Chain A
Amino acid sequence: MAPSRALTRLTLLRRAPSSALRRYHSYDHPAPAGIFNASEQAILSAAYKHVPEHGFTQHALSLGARDAGYLDISTNVVPEGPFSLIRYHLVTQREALAPRREAIFSKDANAATTVPARVERLTWERLLGNRDVNHRWQEALAIMAQPSHVPASFHELALLADEIHFLAGDTSVDPSWYTKRGGLSVIYASSELFMTNDRSPGFGDTRAFLQRRLAEGGSLSNAVGGVTQWLGFTASAGVNVLRSKGVRI
């Protein structure tokens, strides 16, 4: 494709609405995958290779555009500039979990036993996906925290928490559906931040941090569940006491 035509095509790009979260997932009629179109995909995947050296920057985007055979200028119309590059990282790393699921759990039999263990293992796998850009991640977090990018950043975080629970085989359909995903989002975000300062071999400290947070989260949701059960028990006990006193309820 000639650069000029690529340019007009790119200006027509409009980001697909990002609210695909928790829409019915069909196995027979799957929705077309990917939020990036072909030209974006070409530029972003080429630019991504420059991130370890140049960060999530306009410069990396220009280098990528050139590598992919586009004019430098065409990067101006990658709608959100460096944030698109960050998003590319988030999306590709999230989507990389599903195909690796089997391999991860056959290698690591311990992690495959319970849902919380699988959640921990998959979250760790996702954190390892930051390995190559970890030294650039604080800059990325700063860009993600800009008000215009906050909704999309949160959206990606929520998609990740949902993906991990789905791949871990979580089957909750009650309020714990929300508390589990919300809890993991917070834990993931803080672990990611911890990791940017982690100099331990193989990010061992980050994994220990992650496991501590997950253990705390588990005891918190147990406490919530316990209180709910206690309320239900007290209510039914109260009814029984009243009934035994001859109140007709």
Chain B
Amino acid sequence: MPPSCEKNLMRIMRQMRRPHTRLPLHNNFLLSAAFAPSSRRISSTARRSDATTGTSEAAQSKSSNPKPRKPLTKEQRDFLSSALRVNQTGELAATLIYTAQTPPLVNAHPHLRPLMAHMYDQEAGHLKTFNSLITKHRVRPTALYPLWSLMATGLGWSTALMGREAAMACTEAVETEIGEHYNNQIRSLLEMFEQWEAEGYEVGPEFRDLISTLRRIRDEELEHLDHAVEHDAKEARPYWLLTSIIRAGCRGAIWTSERV
């Protein structure tokens, strides 16, 4: 994350925290760490291997003769097109959820306006990124676009009507699934890279850029998750029912749009 963005985020988080400081900072952290253990663990391993790929890249640029690049296999191309398709669908859904949630939520809780605007802007940025990636790499967009639009809008709107806690529980549930989903993709890409490098091939900027894009977006999704928990997502009643329905829905949607 660029430092300016981080600063911005810290400022927003401080603003958010001031009006109602129910949980001290370390508590928040513990909570989110406890409730999203798998994604946290994966994300830290992903970051560790960042460091190793970074050094190997530096070593590579010193040796002047470029290594060859291996053509993608059919399976790899299938994986990549379904990955980009499902990501674009997910980000479309995210922008629609926040769009639908914002008016009722901000009416009732004006202090949430900057947070909602901040999260929406990030989702809009993610959507733009994947829109251009699927055009560039000639991936077919999801065929169920109208269905996802309708469901995302419905989910955002209904959770916002149920109140602030439910809306935040919705964000928490969605971002937990999405964060894990991005982590799985990052892991598969790292496996691809490892295999290429073991066989003496080069990874190349196209895939280096792709994986750093995925990591940046994954980190932003996990920030959304933290914001949601800070804003009492866990207070939603019945929390377990709401989040497990939404999470199951997300997994179903991911499964479907990887295929259709």
Which residues of A pack against B, CB within 8 Å? Answer: 20-32, 162, 166, 170-171, 173-175, 177-178, 248-249
Contact A26 B72 (CB under 8 A): yes
User: Complex formed: what's the CA distance from A30 to B74 in Å?
Assistant: 11
Q: Measured between C-beta atoms, what is the minimum distance from A65 to chain B in Å?
A: 30
User: Complex formed: what's the CA distance from A170 to B74 in Å?
Assistant: 25
Contact A31 B77 (CB under 8 A): yes
Contacts of B141 in A (CB 8 A): 173-174, 177
Residue B70 lies at the interface, judged by CB distance under 8 Å to chain A: yes
Contacts of A23 in B (CB 8 A): 74, 77-78, 80-81
User: Complex formed: what's the CA distance from A248 to B163 in Å?
Assistant: 12
Residue B71 lies at the interface, judged by CB distance under 8 Å to chain A: yes
Describe A's contact surface by its main secondary structure.
loop
Closest A-B pairs by Cβ, 10 of them: A24-B80, A28-B204, A23-B77, A28-B206, A22-B140, A25-B138, A24-B81, A24-B77, A173-B141, A173-B131
Contact A24 B84 (CB under 8 A): yes
Contact A29 B70 (CB under 8 A): yes
Residue B110 lies at the interface, judged by CB distance under 8 Å to chain A: no
Contacts of B206 in A (CB 8 A): 26-29
User: Complex formed: what's the CA distance from A170 to B205 in Å?
Assistant: 24
Given A23-B78, A173-B88, A173-B135, the answer on whether A30 and B140 have CB atoms closer than 8 Å is no
Which residues of B pack against A, CB within 8 Å? Answer: 69-72, 74, 76-81, 84, 88, 104, 131-132, 134-135, 137-141, 143, 145-146, 161, 204-207
Contact A173 B78 (CB under 8 A): no
Contacts of A31 in B (CB 8 A): 71-72, 77
User: Complex formed: what's the CA distance from A25 to B72 in Å?
Assistant: 9
User: Complex formed: what's the CA distance from A224 to B26 in Å?
Assistant: 53
Contacts of A25 in B (CB 8 A): 137-139
Using A23-B80, A29-B71, A171-B135 as known contacts, list a sample of 15 further A-B pairs with CB atoms less than 8 Å apart, ordered by residue number in A. Answer: A20-B74, A22-B138, A22-B140, A23-B78, A24-B138, A25-B139, A26-B80, A29-B69, A29-B72, A29-B204, A29-B206, A29-B207, A162-B138, A175-B146, A178-B143
Contact A24 B72 (CB under 8 A): yes
Contact of A28 among B84, B134, B207 (CB under 8 A): B207
